[in-house]
Amino acid sequence: MQTPTAATQVTSVPNPLRNIVLKLQKYPQWLQNFMLTRVFRYTVKLSGTVGQDILGTDLHTVTFRQRNKKKVQNHIGGVHAAGMALLGESATGFIVGVNLPGDKLPLLKSMHVDYTQRAVGDLIAKATLTPEQITQMQTQVKGEINVAVVVTDAEGKSPINCEYVWAWIPKRKN
């Protein structure tokens, strides 16, 4: 993945997740991915339970992997439908979370998943934000965006078509 450019830097309230990603950039890619995966799994417990991996991010896109292991399999040996939906949600949530200012709270507003064919092997989800979406997230107090995500299986086919709408609101002050 590419390193972020100055144009993608958040200049508002610091974002802890984004700061972690930026600090990890000085390390080799394998270590960045390992550490990001551990942080994400610790924060999002269900991601840790199913064993999702972060394969890389450039702060515009992120790539997640769900291995097809027994813990997440359905009755026909593929990744369970709920696991596929979770993979898309995790990838889109990460890319939204890393681009929001630290004083905003990301919320999944809706998701729509169409299961189009049987998944084979491990799954990869790649979520992407446009520069316009990032600007919108950094400048609007509240809002929502439709985050693009493509999920592919070991054969390179897309077993699901999905749409995730993320919203953000100001965090409540304690």
The pTM assigned to this predicted structure is 0.91
- Residue 141 pLDDT more than 80? yes
Mean pLDDT, the chain, as a whole number?
A: 93
Q: What is the pLDDT, as a whole number, of residue 4?
A: 47
- Residue 169 pLDDT more than 80? yes
Domain ranges of the chain: 13-170
Tell me if 32 sits within 8 A of 101, measured CB to CB: no
Alpha carbon distance 22, 41 (integer Å): 18
Tell me if 39 sits within 8 A of 72, measured CB to CB: no
List Cβ neighbours of 160 (8 Å cut-off, separation of 6 or more). Answer: 84, 85, 88, 113, 114, 115, 116, 119, 151
Contacts 24+ apart (CB under 8 A), 46-51: 46/86, 47/86, 47/90, 50/83, 50/86
In Å, what is the CA distance from 39 to each residue of 24, 45, 78?
A: 11, 10, 27
What pLDDT digit, counting tens, does each position of 84-118 carry? 999 999 999 999 999 999 999 999 999 999 999 99
Q: Does the domain formed by 13-170 have CATH 3.40.50.720?
A: no
- Residue 12 pLDDT more than 80? no
What pLDDT digit, counting tens, does each position of 44-69 carry? 999 999 999 999 999 999 999 999 99
List Cβ neighbours of 133 (8 Å cut-off, separation of 6 or more). Answer: 99, 145, 147
Q: What is the pLDDT, as a whole number, of residue 172?
A: 87
- Residue 139 pLDDT more than 70? yes
Alpha carbon distance 63, 75 (integer Å): 27
Residue 5: band (very low, low, confident or very high) from pLDDT cuts 50, 70, 90? very low
